[in-house]
Amino acid sequence: MEIGGTKVCRLTQLHWWALGATLMMLLLCAFMVQLIMTSTMKASSVLMFRSYISRQAVNDQLERVYDSNGYLIVSPNGGLNQMRAGICDMVAIAIYLNLTFVVPELDNTSFWRDNRQFGDIFDVDFFITSLRGQVRILKELPPMQKRRLEKMRQIVSFAPISWSDISFYYYQMLPLIKRYGLLHFTRTDTRLANNGLPLELQLLRCQVNYKALRFTSQIEELGKKIVRLLRKNGPFLVLHLRYEMDMLAFTGCTEGCDNREIEELTNMRYAYTWWKEKEIDSEKRRKDGGCPLTPEETAYALRALGIDPTKQIYIAAGDIYGGEKRMASLRLAFPRMVKKETLLKPSDLEPFKNHSNQMAALDYMVALEGDIFVPTFGGNMAKVVEGHRRHLGYKTTILLDRSIVVNLIDQYKNGNLSWVEFSQAMKTGHADRMGSPAQRLIIPGKPKEEEYFYSNPQECLPPIHQRPKVST
């Protein structure tokens, strides 16, 4: 019995051991199944996410279907970059109000009198297709709408109020468009506020500016050729030297000019009736930082900031007032000065001859590619290029404080500062003016004085974790 008892006990123990092993195997199998299912689910979720992104990317290219509230026709005014910013604003407004946008007719009556149209500067087909997921764009009005216009005999046409917020367009412009079927804006410069707009609208402005507005292949190819020629000789700085006759006449700035030149610039200012300011104190304006830097002042500023005198300097500008004589001091300081006319054969530029907007487009392309960009005046090109370079990864842009520059130069020339002191003061005064991340300056109620949206489109850039910089 003992033997038998022992045998029974051992059999019982064997039975429980087998049962335990089976349970362990079942638990292990269940764990493995769970692990496989979890992994599969994770993999599926990743695949689903990836396929969603892929489908979304495809859907973005599909034409947006919507009931249009009417047609928006615009005539952008000013030079290339003033028109560029205006077009971005108008397209964003058209998207926001569910309008059909008609390819713009560019201004041919401004100072530059360039008769080139939108399709001569920008790639029209790319413009239309790249935005088809947001807005319907037509090259011209449909025949039915043209016939309706003929019956109306007169198109509803005017300039929107400057620096308007979106409520102006929604509550005042949209009812007019619905009533008449279309609206024509005769001016587009600064017709949309810098701030206080929906994030969606700000992002749309950037999408048009940085994605949809691409230059024609002819301009793109020649612009890339200029950049290749520059890169072959090393790094280069792009200097937007805004020392041209029209700018000096408009601002009333005559530093370094003789009596004949002062009279010539004054006569030009009075000849253009739409330039409102006539009597201007040139010296005071210069001290206040309201004048374009002269070539001589520019040479002082660049040298004081430590720019290598052997660096290539590409001059992005039209005809410099005073010609080579006026450029002598700058060329002496930076002998490797070039411009598109010296880099290219005359035959390369022949198609663009006497077409200032296409020439400006070439300079725009080079300005984006430069290792450093330095504007000597805060005009439209300076502002729009500054913002575009921020969008491309905060590329170095030296934003000269003209008031600091001219006052330090005067102190140095008067013997009140040594070169070392002058240089150090210049570097200190521009330490935070290199195009690095910064909040856009907001001045409530003073849109002309605050920072321009297109010079710092912060809504379209990586976020900055600090409070907005607001001036009172």
Three-class secondary structure assignment of 285-347 = HHHCCCCCCCHHHHHHHHHHCCCCCCCEEEECCCCECCHHHHHHHHHHHCCCEECHHHHCCHH
Q: For residue 4, what pLDDT is reported? A: 38
- pLDDT tens sequence for the chain (472 residues): 333 333 334 434 444 444 454 545 545 444 443 433 333 333 332 222 222 223 343 345 689 999 999 999 999 999 999 999 999 999 999 999 999 999 999 876 665 566 789 999 999 999 999 999 999 999 999 998 888 877 777 789 999 999 999 999 999 999 999 999 999 999 999 999 999 999 999 999 999 999 999 999 999 999 999 999 999 999 999 999 999 999 999 999 999 999 999 999 999 999 999 899 999 999 999 999 999 999 999 999 999 999 999 999 999 998 999 999 999 999 999 999 999 999 999 999 999 988 999 999 999 999 999 999 999 999 999 999 999 999 999 999 999 999 999 999 999 999 999 999 999 999 999 999 999 999 999 999 999 999 999 999 999 998 876 544 555 4
Q: Say what the pLDDT of residue 283 is.
A: 96
One-letter identity of residue 136: R
Report the first-to-last Cα separation within the chain, whole angstroms.
105
Q: How many CB atoms lie within 10 A of CB 97?
A: 19
State residue 149's pLDDT score.
Answer: 79
Give the span between the Cα atoms of 377 and 406, in whole angstroms.
13
- pLDDT recorded at residue 148: 81
Q: Which residue has the tokens 């292949």?
A: 217
pLDDT recorded at residue 2: 35
The pLDDT, as a whole number, for residue 145 is: 86
Per-residue confidence (pLDDT) for residue 378, from 0 to 100: 92
CA distance 75 to 83: 9
- Continuous segment of H or E residues that includes residue 74: strand 71-74
CA 118/CA 379 separation, integer angstroms:
21
pLDDT score of 106 = 86
What does the pLDDT read at residue 40?
Answer: 34
pLDDT of residue 471: 53
The predicted structure's pLDDT at residue 154: 75
Whether residue 97 contacts residue 169, with contact meaning beta carbons closer than 8 Å, is answered with yes
Q: Hey, how many other C-beta atoms are within 10 angstroms of the C-beta on 257?
A: 18
Q: Residue 364: its pLDDT value, please?
A: 99
H-helix or E-strand containing 118? Answer: helix 118-121
**Distance (Å, whole) CA 325 – CA 318:** 16
CATH label, 217-460, candidates 2.30.110.10, 3.40.50.11350, 3.40.50.11540, 3.30.470.10: 3.40.50.11350
